[in-house]
Amino acid sequence: MTTDTLTEFYGFTPRGEHFEDLVDAICASLPGAQRHAVFDSIRNLAGNMLTEELMDDTAWRLAGNLDRLKSGIAVPPWTVQTEKEWMPVHFIQREFGQTSTGAPGSFFDLRILAGTACPLTIKTFLTSGVCGLFARTCGYTNRRGDRPYGHASELCNLRTLALIDPEHCRQGKPGFWDIDCKPAYKKWNLSIIDKRFRRGFECPHDFMHHCYQCPVGYLDCPAGTHPFTIYEDEDGEETADDGGEGAAS
């Protein structure tokens, strides 16, 4: 399903037969999805003006739960996690942080790619030790290996499964502690990690430093370890070029 299917509905406030038309359009773009499940999944749209952001999020949520819709299970917007559920997540960006006792770590923004909480973005704090553990789970090795992990930002642009657990959900947001990197996600990760080690890939700028030391973001270079490229202005101040879009999606 693509949001292009729903372009004609942008700006409308669906009610009555227009809401039924919206349901039909979505069902047509999701072969096999049961209509009653789609209907119940988008009840939140009825009576609300359909902005581009709202429709994009809706399209992603439904496409990321197609198996449920085919089984007749509705997937309304996430409000609470009632049971443990494995969901694929994408590490978007990282910033330095620390615990209340001053121990170093990192805050990560992660996008949930499928599952009942799709497509929410969550923020989670990982200590430096946990960052290293997660990095090795995702495809890096220890320092003696052939893909040595070096910095927390190297988790960015990688994907894995996260066990969304009611015990770790806080302030109305999904939370997790355990991860599991299945082969499909390991393949995605290694395709990026190998580029960071110049395997079958040449740096487009002929840089010699590590990718985690590079100002170029992964929206401009597939080996990048942060989304947006960082530039210095005339006063030497750094700024990230996000193209006016804000956080990466």
pTM of the model: 0.86
Please say if the pLDDT value at position 55 is more than 70.
Answer: yes
Please list the residues that pair with 148 across neighbouring strands. 141
Please say if the pLDDT value at position 245 is more than 70.
Answer: no
Banded model confidence at residue 81, pLDDT cuts 50, 70, 90:
very high
Per residue in 6-24, pLDDT (tens digit) is 777 888 898 888 899 999 9
Distance CA 138, CA 182 (A): 9
Element (H, E) at 105: strand 104-112
Under DSSP, the state recorded for 199 is S
Nearest to 248 by CA among 232, 222, 231, 226: 226
Per residue in 57-79, pLDDT (tens digit) is 999 999 999 999 999 999 999 99
Taking CA 220 as the corner, what is the angle to CA 219 and CA 223, rounded to the nearest 5 degrees?
85
Q: Assess contact for 32 and 62: CB atoms under 8 A.
A: no
Range 33-48 average pLDDT: 95
Per residue in 149-172, pLDDT (tens digit) is 999 999 999 999 999 999 999 888
Under DSSP, the state recorded for 77 is P
Distance CA 240, CA 232 (A): 9
Q: Assess contact for 140 and 149: CB atoms under 8 A.
A: yes
Q: Is the bond leading into 119 cis (omega within 30 degrees of zero)?
A: yes
Please report the pLDDT score of residue 191 as a whole number.
97
Please report the pLDDT score of residue 69 as a whole number.
97
Can you read off the two tokens belonging to residue 133?
């553990």
